[in-house]
Amino acid sequence: MTNGDKAAILAEIVALMDRPEPDPDEVTVGEVAERANITKASARSRLDSAVGRGELTSRIVYVDNRKTRAYRRIS
């Protein structure tokens, strides 16, 4: 197996791993915290409360290879 073969196999395997990125209409905890000038913990708490009230949805996404939540308004 050549290095090129191995690289191709690794690329295929990585592509099979579901690592979604945020969609353009979603925001992350970090983005909200920075914009609102609050801690990430506070932003997460407020966003999760909005999810609980049915105002937002959330899902796991990856930003810079780090797992986080993305939030979207319910239309």
Per-residue pLDDT of the chain (75 residues; tens, 9 = 90+): 788 888 888 888 877 777 889 999 999 999 999 999 999 999 999 999 999 999 999 999 999 889 999 999 998
Residue 1, C-beta contacts closer than 8 angstroms, at least 6 positions apart: none
The enclosing domain of 36 has a CATH number of 1.10.10.10
Residue 4 is predicted with a pLDDT of: 81
Query: CA 26 to CA 22: how far, in whole Å?
Result: 6
Give domain status of residue 8, yes or no.
no
Which helix (DSSP H) or strand (DSSP E) does residue 36 occupy? helix 29-36
Residue 38, C-beta contacts closer than 8 angstroms, at least 6 positions apart: 32, 46
Residue 19 is predicted with a pLDDT of: 82
Domain residues for 52? 19-73
Give domain status of residue 40, yes or no.
yes
Residue 33, C-beta contacts closer than 8 angstroms, at least 6 positions apart: 39, 40, 42, 43
Residue 56 is predicted with a pLDDT of: 98
